[in-house]
Amino acid sequence: MRSERNLTSKQEQAILALLSETTITAAAEKVTIGEATLYRWLKQTAFLVEYRTRRREAVEKATALLQQSSWAAASTLVRLLGSGSDSVKLRAAVALLDQANKGLETLDFEKRLLAVEEFAKEMGDCK
Protein backbone atom coordinates (compact mmCIF):
# COMPACT_ATOMS: atom_id res chain seq x y z
CA MET A 1 0.00 0.00 0.00
CA ARG A 2 1.80 3.11 -1.22
CA SER A 3 0.72 6.36 0.36
CA GLU A 4 -0.10 9.50 -1.55
CA ARG A 5 2.03 11.52 0.87
CA ASN A 6 5.39 10.78 -0.82
CA LEU A 7 6.83 8.83 2.07
CA THR A 8 10.01 6.86 1.61
CA SER A 9 10.01 3.08 1.61
CA LYS A 10 11.56 3.10 5.10
CA GLN A 11 8.84 5.45 6.34
CA GLU A 12 6.18 3.13 4.92
CA GLN A 13 7.85 0.22 6.69
CA ALA A 14 8.03 2.25 9.89
CA ILE A 15 4.29 2.91 9.81
CA LEU A 16 3.60 -0.81 9.43
CA ALA A 17 6.02 -1.52 12.28
CA LEU A 18 4.34 1.06 14.51
CA LEU A 19 1.04 -0.69 13.88
CA SER A 20 2.38 -4.16 14.65
CA GLU A 21 4.93 -3.61 17.42
CA THR A 22 4.16 -2.71 21.02
CA THR A 23 6.80 0.00 21.45
CA ILE A 24 8.48 2.66 19.36
CA THR A 25 11.82 1.06 20.18
CA ALA A 26 10.66 -2.29 18.79
CA ALA A 27 9.23 -0.61 15.69
CA ALA A 28 12.51 1.20 15.02
CA GLU A 29 14.48 -2.01 15.48
CA LYS A 30 12.17 -3.89 13.13
CA VAL A 31 12.81 -1.35 10.38
CA THR A 32 16.51 -1.04 11.29
CA ILE A 33 16.39 2.69 11.94
CA GLY A 34 17.31 4.65 15.00
CA GLU A 35 14.69 5.42 17.57
CA ALA A 36 15.52 9.13 17.24
CA THR A 37 14.78 8.92 13.51
CA LEU A 38 11.37 7.42 14.18
CA TYR A 39 10.58 10.09 16.75
CA ARG A 40 11.66 12.74 14.23
CA TRP A 41 9.40 11.24 11.56
CA LEU A 42 6.49 11.23 14.01
CA LYS A 43 6.88 15.02 14.22
CA GLN A 44 6.61 15.39 10.44
CA THR A 45 3.08 16.23 9.33
CA ALA A 46 2.91 13.92 6.29
CA PHE A 47 4.25 10.93 8.22
CA LEU A 48 2.02 11.57 11.23
CA VAL A 49 -1.11 12.02 9.11
CA GLU A 50 -0.43 8.77 7.25
CA TYR A 51 0.30 6.89 10.47
CA ARG A 52 -2.89 8.15 12.12
CA THR A 53 -4.91 7.32 9.01
CA ARG A 54 -3.62 3.76 8.92
CA ARG A 55 -4.04 3.35 12.67
CA ARG A 56 -7.65 4.51 12.42
CA GLU A 57 -8.28 2.06 9.56
CA ALA A 58 -6.86 -0.77 11.68
CA VAL A 59 -9.08 0.16 14.64
CA GLU A 60 -12.14 0.43 12.39
CA LYS A 61 -11.48 -3.07 11.02
CA ALA A 62 -11.07 -4.45 14.54
CA THR A 63 -14.29 -2.75 15.64
CA ALA A 64 -16.16 -4.22 12.68
CA LEU A 65 -14.93 -7.69 13.64
CA LEU A 66 -16.10 -7.15 17.23
CA GLN A 67 -19.49 -6.00 16.02
CA GLN A 68 -19.82 -9.03 13.76
CA SER A 69 -19.05 -11.28 16.73
CA SER A 70 -21.43 -9.56 19.15
CA TRP A 71 -24.39 -11.79 18.26
CA ALA A 72 -22.38 -14.90 19.10
CA ALA A 73 -21.17 -13.32 22.33
CA ALA A 74 -24.68 -12.31 23.36
CA SER A 75 -25.96 -15.79 22.51
CA THR A 76 -23.25 -17.30 24.70
CA LEU A 77 -24.25 -15.08 27.62
CA VAL A 78 -27.90 -16.03 27.20
CA ARG A 79 -26.94 -19.72 27.09
CA LEU A 80 -24.88 -19.28 30.27
CA LEU A 81 -27.99 -18.04 32.10
CA GLY A 82 -29.03 -21.69 32.10
CA SER A 83 -25.78 -22.88 33.67
CA GLY A 84 -25.82 -25.15 36.69
CA SER A 85 -23.45 -22.80 38.47
CA ASP A 86 -25.03 -19.86 40.27
CA SER A 87 -21.83 -17.79 39.94
CA VAL A 88 -21.76 -18.32 36.15
CA LYS A 89 -25.45 -17.37 35.90
CA LEU A 90 -24.86 -14.26 38.00
CA ARG A 91 -21.89 -13.11 35.89
CA ALA A 92 -23.82 -13.73 32.66
CA ALA A 93 -26.84 -11.85 33.97
CA VAL A 94 -24.75 -8.88 35.11
CA ALA A 95 -22.92 -8.77 31.77
CA LEU A 96 -26.19 -8.88 29.82
CA LEU A 97 -27.78 -6.14 31.92
CA ASP A 98 -24.66 -3.96 31.69
CA GLN A 99 -24.51 -4.28 27.93
CA ALA A 100 -28.24 -3.71 27.53
CA ASN A 101 -28.00 -0.52 29.60
CA LYS A 102 -24.97 0.70 27.63
CA GLY A 103 -26.87 0.07 24.42
CA LEU A 104 -29.82 2.12 25.65
CA GLU A 105 -27.52 4.92 26.78
CA THR A 106 -25.88 4.98 23.36
CA LEU A 107 -29.21 5.07 21.55
CA ASP A 108 -30.50 7.82 23.87
CA PHE A 109 -27.32 9.83 23.37
CA GLU A 110 -27.56 9.47 19.60
CA LYS A 111 -31.18 10.65 19.66
CA ARG A 112 -30.29 13.69 21.78
CA LEU A 113 -27.28 14.52 19.61
CA LEU A 114 -29.41 14.42 16.46
CA ALA A 115 -31.92 16.78 18.12
CA VAL A 116 -29.12 19.22 19.06
CA GLU A 117 -27.67 19.08 15.55
CA GLU A 118 -31.12 19.72 14.03
CA PHE A 119 -31.66 22.65 16.40
CA ALA A 120 -28.26 24.10 15.52
CA LYS A 121 -29.05 23.74 11.84
CA GLU A 122 -32.38 25.53 12.31
CA MET A 123 -30.70 28.31 14.25
CA GLY A 124 -28.15 28.70 11.48
CA ASP A 125 -30.93 28.96 8.90
CA CYS A 126 -32.59 31.75 10.90
CA LYS A 127 -29.63 34.10 10.52
pLDDT at 2 over 60: no
pLDDT at 39 over 50: yes
Cα→Cα distances 25→5, 16, 36, 87, 122, Å: 24, 14, 9, 43, 51
Residue 11's Cβ-count burial label (10 Å; 0-12, 13-18, 19+) is: buried
Q: How far apart are CA 83 and CA 105, in angstroms?
A: 29
Given a contact cutoff of 8 angstroms between Cβ atoms, the answer to whether 19 and 60 are in contact is no
Given pLDDT bands bounded at 50, 70 and 90, which one contains residue 125?
confident
Q: Higher model confidence: residue 40 or residue 124?
A: 40
Identify the pLDDT of residue 124.
84
How much helix, strand and coil, in percent to the nearest 5, is found in the chain? 85, 0, 15
Mean of pLDDT values over 36-49: 96
Q: How far apart are CA 87 and CA 11, in angstroms?
A: 51
Beta carbons within 10 angstroms of residue 80's beta carbon: 17
